[in-house]
A and B are shown apart, each in its own frame.
Chain A
Amino acid sequence: MNPHSILIIIPAFNEEASIANVIASVRRCVPGADIVVINDGSTDRTRSIAEGLGVVVLNHIYNLGIGATMQTGYKYAVAGGYDLAVQFDGDGQHPAEQIKDIIRPVLDGKADLVVGSRFLGEGNYRPSIARGAGMAFFSRLVSAILKERLTDTTSGFRAAGRECINYFSSRYPDDYPEVEALVLLHKKGFSIMEVPVTMTERAGGRSSITPLRSVYYMVKVLLAILVDLIKKT
């Protein structure tokens, strides 16, 4: 095992349009890292494309949802004894060039979890008004809970250190996990840090959050956060 073994966890559900490019860009930008694709029961060619590229592909026997998919990645990271794990979406919206930026603070011991924020620095990410309002709301709420300013709590572009990997392997929220995971980490005393990133438009697939689901999203995440605050962990 090299001194800093890094695992890039790529969750993928029906990402045949983008998965090959995502894997290629990760390999180009972080050649020393291992890649694992967690195929969450895709019904398209995601699995065969990823396996054809020679990366490790973990196939869920049926669709378990994004939270369980990330957690499978963290469990794999624990089993492999990795020092650092990066969450990197399979839809191509996360910038592989900036993986090194989000892993740096973890390797330097500055934070247990680093979140790539689209709203720090001069990113050109412009969400719709409704979506932006929701994102701002959760950022404010989580900032208030953590007593620390966070700007992009819904970003799924993250790097986690060893302790964090261990914790996530045993406990990770089910659906829409990003915001809740931050609250859980904070409750457990982990340190969280943001670094600015620029994200591109999605290369393929659709966002899991449709207008109809956004109301459910808000209610679910809000409830989960409030429950997490009173729940024994």
Chain B
Amino acid sequence: MYLFQAFAIIGSLLLFFIVIDFIRRGLLKEKYSVLWLACALVITVLSLKKELLDTVAGYIGIAYPPSFLFLVAFIFVLLINLHFSVVISIFHEKNKVLAQEITLVKNALKEAGIDTAGGAKKDDKGLPNG
């Protein structure tokens, strides 16, 4: 076994258990962990089964098999980042709608004669909230 192989196995298993632990502790939602777990699993399998790594790397014409591991990891990082961008865009839209609804609801409350907390005080200082 090459040193790089041991390194890859330890690294990917570590990633796998960190992700599982984060889910267990509620730091990471399952729906955002799928790509991370898939990444850890694929790299673990490829580094445990050296013949498989050599075969696949050879098949697509990569002379030095370990660099195929880097390629796989890089593709996963790209996918995870793209996933984040999509999620951020969705949150951006939802956040905007939420803020607009708060604005309209606050106005409706004001028209009904209900003052929302601290509105008048903050207004005098010219602060944006209220």
- Please count how many residues in chain B sit with their CB below 8 Å of the partner chain's CB atoms: 15
Interface flag for A41 (CB, 8 Å):
yes
Q: A64-B96, A68-B96 are in contact. Are A58 and B103 (CB under 8 A)?
A: yes
Q: A56-B107, A72-B104, A76-B104 are in contact. Are A61 and B99 (CB under 8 A)?
A: yes
Which of B96, B99, B103, B129 has the most chain A CB within a 10 Å cutoff?
B103
Task: Evaluate contact between A61 and B103: CB separation under 8 angstroms.
Answer: yes
Flag A53-96 by CB within 8 Å of B: 1 or 0 each.
00010111111100010011001100100000000000000000
Q: Report the tally of A-B residue pairs with Cβ distances under 8 A.
A: 54
Q: How far is the CB of B107 from chain A (nearest CB, A)?
A: 5
Q: How far is the CB of A13 from chain B (nearest CB, A)?
A: 10
Task: Evaluate contact between A68 and B99: CB separation under 8 angstroms.
Answer: yes
- Please count how many residues in chain A sit with their CB below 8 Å of the partner chain's CB atoms: 25
Contact residues, B90-130 vs A (CB, 8 A):
96, 99-100, 102-104, 106-107, 123-124, 126-130
Smallest Cβ-Cβ distance to B92: which chain A residue: A174
Stretch at the interface among A21-29, A42-50, A119-127, A202-210: A42-50
Given the complex, which residues of B lie within 8 Å of A42, measured CB to CB? 126, 128
Determine the main DSSP class of B at the interface with A. helix
Determine the main DSSP class of A at the interface with B. mixed
Given the complex, which residues of B lie within 8 Å of A58, measured CB to CB? 103-104, 107
Smallest Cβ-Cβ distance to A36: which chain B residue: B107
The CA-CA distance from A62 to B98 in the complex, in Å, is 12
The CA-CA distance from A119 to B54 in the complex, in Å, is 67
Smallest Cβ-Cβ distance to A45: which chain B residue: B126
The CA-CA distance from A41 to B103 in the complex, in Å, is 11
**Pick from B103, B123, B126: contact of A60, CB under 8 Å:** B103
**Pick from A44, A63, A72, A174: contact of B103, CB under 8 Å:** A72
Smallest Cβ-Cβ distance to B107: which chain A residue: A58
Q: How far is the CB of B48 from chain A (nearest CB, A)?
A: 43
Q: How far is the CB of B45 from chain A (nearest CB, A)?
A: 38
The CA-CA distance from A51 to B119 in the complex, in Å, is 12
Flag A180-195 by CB within 8 Å of B: 1 or 0 each.
0000000000000000
The CA-CA distance from A63 to B99 in the complex, in Å, is 10
- List 8 A-B pairs, minimum CB-CB distance, nearest first: A41-B128, A72-B100, A58-B103, A68-B96, A58-B107, A45-B126, A60-B103, A61-B129
